[in-house]
A and B are shown apart, each in its own frame.
Chain A
Amino acid sequence: MKRISSTLTIAAMLTSTAMPAAVQAEADYSKYGIAKDIPGSCSYAAIDAKDYSGQTLNVITHAIPVIGEPTALHAEQFSELTGAEVNVVHVPFGDLFQRIMIPFQSGQNAYDVLFYASLWIGDFNRFLAPVPEAYTASSGMADVTDSFKGVATWNGQMIQYPMDGDRHYLKYRTDVFDNPEMQAKFKEATGRDLAVPTTWEEYNEVASVFSGFDWDGDGELNYGSAEVAKRDDLMFSAFISRAAPYAKHPDVGGGFFFDIETMEPLINTPGFVRGLELFVEAQQAFPPGGTNFGLGDEIFSFGGGQTLMSYSWDDAFIQAQQDGSRIRNAVGAAPLPGAKQVWNRETGEWDSFDEPNRAPYMTWGWSSAVSKESENQEMAFDFLCFFSNEANTFHDLQIGRFGVNPYRDSHFDSAFWQGLGWDADVADSYVTTLSEMEDSTNRVYDLRVPGVGQFMSSMANGVAEALAGQKSPQEALDGVADEWSDIVERIGADRLREAYANVVRLEDNEG
């Protein structure tokens, strides 16, 4: 929770001398921690020129620090610059959805600005104000990658304001992979050369070899893989990453989770089952308690040097690369492992691939939007625009705990990351991995439909049951498929199909 209690007085002080001060201070916004103001429609100078005194902006955002801290930071700056009172409320992820949804459904105008997970667009789109022309045409927006613009768009209209880029990719310890001793050890154990895994089978194999002994010599045991496996804590995304290459056939369109024609769930098809089998198998290489790891645990486990590999959002990688980290510059990034056997649901057969099939998961990430009910939409969009102005974004990208990750083409610049003290090969692997995902044509997106929460929590429950050994993977996913059918029936197949079409368009590269 964060209330900017002193802002009014500060803002009043500023605005009383506003005009002269604005001119005078033009050159120097460095007190806000940015390197320099970058000109643009929402630059410090531009926002400084606006006066919103006496108006109030209510903002709901994630808990501190991920997204929550930059929200509070920029809210305070915005308040100082414009004289507006900005109230920010921080909510843990698990409850963010309902905290936004309850007021929406009851018509209570609780928040002007919302920061939330982009996959909820299917539920929220009816309550969001479209991003006005002036902002979609801004220089900052022009630089946002196509895929993140796509994520922000619903039925052809941009209704989310991109301020973060997210994807899952593989992180690994280069110091281990490059270590001849470790290579020999791996060879001895498996008869193969140690290499960055290109399939999930390989991933599991590498992970299990490097699990349970102290390979970095710090006196603590090390393990193979840290994964988000705690039910109700984003585990569904980990599972999608693992299952995607087996279930997303590059030549088969028309839906990943559902067959868009029939809205039949595909979640218990062999591709997903295979992904789950491997997920279950991978548990043996988890650190103690690893099956109950939430995202935070995963970040600290890999970022703290406990585990060899991990995959999910940028956070663990950035954590590892933080100034003062014990494993700084001993990490590398790579695309998510793929699969050599891919289920083709049209033919009902497994297809073999020589080069592993990759299906990058364009995981949901943080997004922002303005409520349709808001009485201060202009100010709200100004705030979001200011939040994501170039100067602020470069600042936020540098601080791992902020959770703001590359989403503009200009962010895929190795030099920028090297400027933060990253080794060149680390920065290169990072930038390459990220930008290549943008170019993939076999991408998987989240199920951005109404009731996504129900679908994902049902899936997470099934996966959790399989991980805990309560059910076999096939049984567990059959159960999920049944529940999904029920949900489809309850919400309505047509309504879902209409929403799901937005996703399929992106996946089939038609958007």
Chain B
Amino acid sequence: MGRTYHIIKYLCLLVWTAFVVFPFLWALSTSFKDANAVTSGARYLPWVEFEPSVQGWTSLFASGSQGINIVTPFLNSASVTLLASIVSLGLGTLAAYGLSRYSYKVGFVKNSDITFFFISQRIMPPIVLAIPFFLMLKEIQALDTIFGLVIVYVALLLPIAVWVMTDFFASIPKELDEMAMIDGCTPIGAFFRVVLPNSTAGLVVAGMFCLIFGWNDFFFAFILTFTETQLLPVAIVSLNSSVTPWWSLSAFALISVTPLALIAIVVERFMSRGSLAGAFR
């Protein structure tokens, strides 16, 4: 039974793996095609089934009108995502710690309500806020700037940081910070000297989620920028014309997906050690 079970298990895993990697392989194949290869039905293997062309890749770095110049949006995306993630993580971690250790009460509003207020920001579909955000950023002259996007992204990412870190801190015994206070720390000192140094796993997960959701957001980046501060997803979608250059688009997609895919390796490492344990509950 053990053997058949193993074979079946591996087969299932391989099927899922195939499902997971298929779109990437398809995009890889497409990125080496030209118009004829795209329009003549499904073709998979370069050289065998179609004559490969590198125009999809060269167009990303070429200058001139066909060059899509991937570099600037890439850097923009990286700055906005990193800055917003850092701010969200910082504020969110403090708030989550407060929510997990103290009880707040203003009128009928209690801790759970405050936590819900944070989380509920995620319930709102982005379209709801597009125009108000536009007007707000216009008022502070932050449209089409990295600063403006960071402001908006903080609103998007803060709930995630609060959610993950609240769960994480719940898994750190409160006796630990009490101990620190008994040993002479102020409450704030206890947090920075003792709790924070023991929160790496939670910070990694929360940070990772912030990066993922920040990097992948499309809508706000789309509405709130004009020409100066293009982000990656917007840049990619700008290739989605009626006559789409599928080859460039596929190559672009693969490049934009790579940095975060590398995060998967880091996450796996943490997970295997069991150190993400407390981060979700």
Interface set of A (CB-CB < 8 Å, partner B): 1-3, 5-6, 58-60, 62-66, 68-70, 72-73, 75-76, 87-93, 95, 98-99, 102-103, 106, 108, 110-111, 220, 234, 294-296, 299-300, 303-306, 315, 319, 322, 324, 326, 400-401, 403
Contact = CB atoms under 8 A, between A and B. Distances in A.
Contacts of A305: 39
Contact of A64 (B68, B134, B143, B226): B68
- Closest 5 pairs (CB-CB, A-B): A304-B39, A73-B65, A90-B238, A87-B227, A1-B235
A273 B270 CA distance: 62
A403 B243 CA distance: 9
B242 A299 contact: yes
A503 to B, nearest CB: 25
Given A220-B41, A300-B39, A319-B243, A111 B226 contact: yes
A69 B244 CA distance: 11
Contact of A63 (B38, B63, B67, B239): B239
Contacts of B254: none
20 contacts: A2-B238, A3-B230, A58-B226, A60-B226, A60-B227, A63-B238, A64-B245, A68-B241, A89-B225, A93-B241, A99-B222, A102-B130, A102-B223, A106-B134, A106-B135, A296-B241, A304-B39, A304-B40, A401-B243, A403-B242
A102 B129 CA distance: 13
Nearest to A326: B36
A90 B66 CA distance: 12
B51 to A, nearest CB: 12
Contacts of A60: 226-227
A89 B230 contact: yes
B240 interface: yes
B225 to A, nearest CB: 8
Name the prevailing secondary structure of the B interface residues.
loop
A65 B241 contact: yes
A294 B230 contact: no
Contacts of A1: 68-69, 72-73, 230, 234-235, 238
B144 interface: yes
A64 B40 CA distance: 22
B241 A62 contact: yes
Interface residues of B, number: 41
Contacts of A89: 225-227, 230, 238
Given A60-B227, A68-B241, 7 more contacts: A59-B227, A64-B239, A73-B65, A87-B226, A90-B238, A304-B40, A403-B243
B64 interface: yes
Contacts of A91: 238
Interface in B216-236: 222-223, 225-228, 230, 234-235
B237 interface: yes
B80 to A, nearest CB: 14
B9 interface: no
Contacts of B143: 108, 110
B122 interface: no
Name the prevailing secondary structure of the A interface residues.
mixed
Given A65-B241, A326-B36, A103 B65 contact: no
Contacts of A304: 39-40
A65 B69 contact: no
Contacts of A401: 243, 245
Contacts of A59: 227
A393 to B, nearest CB: 16
A220 B67 CA distance: 34
B226 A66 contact: no
A99 B223 contact: yes
Interface in B154-184: none
Contacts of B68: 1-2, 64
A341 to B, nearest CB: 33
Nearest to A228: B242
Contacts of A69: 65-66
Interface in B11-69: 35-36, 38-41, 63-69
B39 A296 contact: no
B131 interface: yes
A211 B261 CA distance: 44
Nearest to B67: A2
Nearest to B248: A64
A8 B38 CA distance: 37
B131 A5 contact: no
A89 B144 CA distance: 12
A315 B243 contact: yes
A319 B131 CA distance: 38
A76 B64 contact: yes
B241 A87 contact: no
A66 B243 contact: yes
Nearest to A110: B226
B269 interface: no
Contacts of B234: 1
Contact of A92 (B226, B230, B238, B243): B238
B69 A76 contact: no
Nearest to B38: A300
A403 to B, nearest CB: 7
Contacts of B135: 106
B226 A2 contact: no
Nearest to A66: B241
A106 B41 CA distance: 47
